[in-house]
């Protein structure tokens, strides 16, 4: 039996898995038969962990027990408090990855041997290592990390590999934005440049719209809403739906009833036009435009030299994104790939390449270093030594895997040791860049300043792992630093402790997830309704809960179908 290697798109808003089947990437359904699994974790009152759609539905009713968008905090030391337990972003991501893995195994009818996991192209070293840690906690072997727009390019290039063209991928998801310039030539997909913003996505557009609605309230109500997590969560959720409606309508209305604000409940109703929304989004759209220009500059291309512009990510459905791309490139962008699925489909293609799938033939993809990598250096002026300067050894945009070498020299007479500080970034001063590691070289021969030479070689692989070799020329002695850990990287002991802690959690049974998800969605909708529809929904919820207590499968199925139809009807 061939090895089962899947591709996983670990997204800020949604996560999903795909596999290469008969030469074509296919999305694998989750436990409730859907293709997209919300990247959400919630803790119920009895301590049960919910992951996915059921957890996402509780975000408006139990915001203090639900975590969303934790991907943005990967690589940081932030802790997210849910009920009486604090989770790291890695642990929450591990819960999502674990759920995706179990669903994939159920869909395939076999265990998963390995996965290719995607990350934003502009994720730094700490964020990539945190993603690896999350996979390790979830018990998923991951040897290959791939950039999200590179994955989208693979999905696109699989069908276009016999063409010659330059394309730009604009990948705007729920929490991150990536831009990639690529060329396809004779079956080779070459990444020319990448840029992006790891804290820009659809969530920010929702929040800007929510601020617009909140600002329309009276001063006392406005202050109260900002202090109430439930009220803020409900407004933001309503604004997400309004944003989606504005993709096809010129005007929409945000209406919320019985919104808890302090000791009172208020009614919020605000009409929003697409034009007014886009005015509120103007600063965000400027942030979208900046990486596009930077990627073109790094690729040494003009906008008119791009043959096709590809939109990827659910947030590119907003008309203002397509219009911005049209203004920049002078042509309409394409949506030839399913926006929410393109990255996972490409990850499945990479998984197929890793498994040596014969159907992929001679397809080849190259990738690049998204950041410059270098060391801290100094320079001697006439009167003093200027320290803290950044000297790149591998420039951003360099095709990887790659190996580059620079020769450094001592700056003081009879210097007996040298500290090599490794940084990632684009600023001239190391204080403005991200420190990746440090190594102290001892045993230098006493020589005049500038005569002692140390060769520093950086080797950077496809998974974002940096190896630093330092050779003292006078002795020929070489020492090595492997940058696999940062300030927030988990040690093997911490990984094992995290795995055990996750294993001790009480999970909702997978087979009961369709019921839990429907109840959570119905409960969230019940909060928003008033009058007869609310009473009608409450009765259907009661009938479904009664059916669950009786545990008759036929009765449960009938009540579930009835409630599901009503929820869909009342949500439209």
**Which residue is listed with tokens 């609310």?**
534
Tell me the Cα Rg of the chain. 26
110 DSSP 8-state letter: S
B/e letters for 77-107, b = 16+ CB within 10 Å, e = fewer, are eeebebeeeebbbbbbbbbbbbbbbbbbbeb
**Apex 435 CA angle, 144 and 146, nearest 5:** 15
Cβ contact 340:148 at 8 Å: no
Helix axis angle, 492-504 relative to 125-137, nearest 10°? 50
Residues 62, 63, 68, 73: is their CA dihedral positive or negative? negative
Residues forming the active site: 9, 71, 148, 171
Cα dist. 403→349, 398, 436, 459 in Å? Answer: 27, 10, 17, 4
Residues 485, 489, 495, 497: is their CA dihedral positive or negative? positive
d(CA 421, CA 560): 60
Cβ contact 32:355 at 8 Å: no
Helix axis angle, 148-160 relative to 342-354, nearest 10°? 80
């Amino acid at each position: 039996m061939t090895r089962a290697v899947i591709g996983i798109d670990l997204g800020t808003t949604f996560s999903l898995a795909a596999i290469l089947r008969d030469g074509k990437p296919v999305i694998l359904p989750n436990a409730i038969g859907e293709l997209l699994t919300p990247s959400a974790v919630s803790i119920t009152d009895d301590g049960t962990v919910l992951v996915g759609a059921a957890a996402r539905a509780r975000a408006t009713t139990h915001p203090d027990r639900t975590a969303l968008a934790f991907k943005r905090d990967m690589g940081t030391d932030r802790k997210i408090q849910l009920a009486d337990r604090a989770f790291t972003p890695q642990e929450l991501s591990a819960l999502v990855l674990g759920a995706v893995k179990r669903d994939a195994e159920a869909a395939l009818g076999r265990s998963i041997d390995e996965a290719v996991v995607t990350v934003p192209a502009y994720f730094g070293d700490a964020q990539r290592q945190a993603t690896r840690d999350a996979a390790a906690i979830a018990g998923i072997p991951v040897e290959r990390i791939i950039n999200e727009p590179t994955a989208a390019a693979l999905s696109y290039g699989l069908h276009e590999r016999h063409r010659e063209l330059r394309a730009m991928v604009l990948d705007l998801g729920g929490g991150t934005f990536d831009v990639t310039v690529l060329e396809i030539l004779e079956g080779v997909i070459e990444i020319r440049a990448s840029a992006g913003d790891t804290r820009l996505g659809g969530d920010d557009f929702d929040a800007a719209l929510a601020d617009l609605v909140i600002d329309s309230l009276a001063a006392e109500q406005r202050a109260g809403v900002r202090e109430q997590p439930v009220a803020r969560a409900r407004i933001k959720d309503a604004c997400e739906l309004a944003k989606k409606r504005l993709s096809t309508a010129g005007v929409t209305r945000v209406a919320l009833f019985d919104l808890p604000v302090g000791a009172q409940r208020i009614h919020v109703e605000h009409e929003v036009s697409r034009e007014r929304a886009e005015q509120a989004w103007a600063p965000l759209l400027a942030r979208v435009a900046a990486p596009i220009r930077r990627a073109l500059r790094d690729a040494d291309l003009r906008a008119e030299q791009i043959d096709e512009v590809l939109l990827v990510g659910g947030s590119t459905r907003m008309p203002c994104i397509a219009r911005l791309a049209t203004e920049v490139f002078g042509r309409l962008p394409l949506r030839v790939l399913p926006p929410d699925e393109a990255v996972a489909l490409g990850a499945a293609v990479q998984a197929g390449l890793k498994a040596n799938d014969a159907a992929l033939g001679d397809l080849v993809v190259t990738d690049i270093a998204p950041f410059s990598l270098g060391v801290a250096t100094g320079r001697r002026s006439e009167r003093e030594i200027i320290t803290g300067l950044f000297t790149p050894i591998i420039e951003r945009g360099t095709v990887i895997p790659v190996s580059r070498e620079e020769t450094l020299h001592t700056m003081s007479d009879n210097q007996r040791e040298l500290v090599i500080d490794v940084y990632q970034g684009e600023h001239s001063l190391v204080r403005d860049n991200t420190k990746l590691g440090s190594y102290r070289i001892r045993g230098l021969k006493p020589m005049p300043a500038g005569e002692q030479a140390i060769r520093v070689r950086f080797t950077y692989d496809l998974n974002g792992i940096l190896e630093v070799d330092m050779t003292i020329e006078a002795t020929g002695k070489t020492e090595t630093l492997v940058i696999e850990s940062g300030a927030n990287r988990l040690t093997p002991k911490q990984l094992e402790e995290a795995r055990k802690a996750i294993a001790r959690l009480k999970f909702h049974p997978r087979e009961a997830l369709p019921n839990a998800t429907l109840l959570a969605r119905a409960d969230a909708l019940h909060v928003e309704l008033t009058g007869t529809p609310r009473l009608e929904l409450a009765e259907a919820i009661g009938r479904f809960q009664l059916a669950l207590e009786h545990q008759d499968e036929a009765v449960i199925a009938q009540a579930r179908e009835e409630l599901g139809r009503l929820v869909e009807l009342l949500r439209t």
